[in-house]
Amino acid sequence: MCGRIANTLPIDAMAQMFEAVPANDLPDVPNYNVCPTTQISVVVSGNDRRLISMRWGFIPDWYQSPTDGPLLINARSETLAEKPAFRQACRQRRCLIPITGYYEWTKDTAGQRLPWYFSSVDRAPLVLGGIWQEWGADDPIKTCTIVTTPANDVVSNVFHRMPVLLKPEDYALWLGEKGKGAARLMRAAPEDALRFFRVHPQVNSNRAEGSDLIEPFDDDPIKPLF
C-alpha cells in the first residue's frame, strides 16, 4: 500500500516533463506529506496532455457520498480489470502521477509504526501509474487511485507491495495514446530502481510538514540489497 507521498516538483517542471498544459488550480508544492483525500497533480490525455488536480481517493459511481465506502487510494493490478469499481477506468481512464517519493510503514516489537521513505536511486522523479474517474452528478469531482503490484525482492524487505513505476517511454502507452497493451506495464520495478531508509516518526502525523520528513532518521539505515 502506498499511503502517503511527497512531491517537491515545481509545476513548470512537471508540465515540461510530460509536455502537458498545466491547470490553474494545481496543489501547492513542495509538499513533503501528501495525505489521502487531498488534491494531487495528475497527467491525463485527450486531444492533448493536461496536468490537472485530482482528489487522491477513487470514488466509485455507486457511492452516495465520498465516505460511503472504503477509501480507495490504491488498486491492485492483479484484479484491476475485474473489480466493478475499477474495470472501466483501467481501460479508459489511466493517468500519470508524478511524485518525489512515497512512504511505507513497518512496526517494531512494541507495535510502534516506523515510517520509511522510498525514492529513485538517481534522485529523478517517480511517475506512478494511476486510474481516475469523475464522481457526482451536480458538481462532479475528479478522483484517482494509485495502481500497485507485488513488490520486488528488495522492496519486500519493508512491504509486500509497491506502486507501478513508469518510465518516459511508457507514458504514451499507459495514457492510451499508443492504443492497447498497458497491462504489460503493471509489474514490479527492477530491484535497483529505488532507495529507501527510515525517516522520523513525526511523519506518522498527517499534520507534519517540512523537508526534514524525508531525511534519514538514524545513522545506519537499512539499504536496498543490491
Q: What is the pLDDT of residues 182-220, one digit of tens each?
A: 999 999 999 999 999 999 999 999 999 999 999 999 744
Q: Is residue 192 part of a domain?
A: yes
Q: Is residue 9 part of a domain?
A: yes
Distance between CA atoms of 169 and 149, rounded to whole angstroms?
Answer: 19
Block residue for cell numbers 530502481: 193
Could you tell me the residue range of the domain that residue 45 belongs to? 4-214
Q: Is residue 223 part of a domain?
A: no
Block residue for cell numbers 517517480: 126
Partners of 163 in the β-ladder = 148
Looking at residue 199, its amino acid is V
Q: Is residue 220 part of a domain?
A: no
Q: Is residue 196 part of a domain?
A: yes
Looking up residue 74, the CATH number of its domain turns out to be 3.90.1680.10
C-alpha cell at 41: 497533480
| pLDDT reported for residue 109 | 87
Q: Is residue 225 part of a domain?
A: no
| pLDDT reported for residue 138 | 83
| pLDDT reported for residue 225 | 36
| DSSP states of the chain | ---EEEE---HHHHHHHHT-EEPS-PPPS-EEEE-TTSEEEEEEESSSEEEEEEEESB--TT-SSTTSS--B-EEEGGGTTTSTTTHHHHHH-EEEEEESEEEEEEE-TT--EEEEEEEETT-PPEEEEEEEEEE-SSS-EEEEEEEEEE--TTGGGT-SEEEPB--GGGHHHHTTTT-S-GGGG-SPPPTTSEEEEEB-GGGGSTT--SGGGGSBSSSSPPPP--
Secondary element (H or E) of residue 22: strand 21-22
Q: Is residue 222 part of a domain?
A: no
Structural domain tally of the chain?
1
C-alpha cell at 194: 529505488
| pLDDT reported for residue 221 | 47
Q: What is the pLDDT along the chain (226 residues), one digit of tens a residue?
A: 789 999 999 999 999 999 999 999 999 999 999 999 999 999 999 889 999 999 999 999 999 999 999 999 999 999 999 999 999 999 999 999 999 999 999 998 888 999 999 999 998 999 999 999 999 888 899 999 999 999 999 999 999 999 999 999 999 999 999 989 999 999 999 999 999 999 999 999 999 999 999 999 974 444 443 3
- pTM (2 decimals)? 0.94
Q: Is residue 226 part of a domain?
A: no
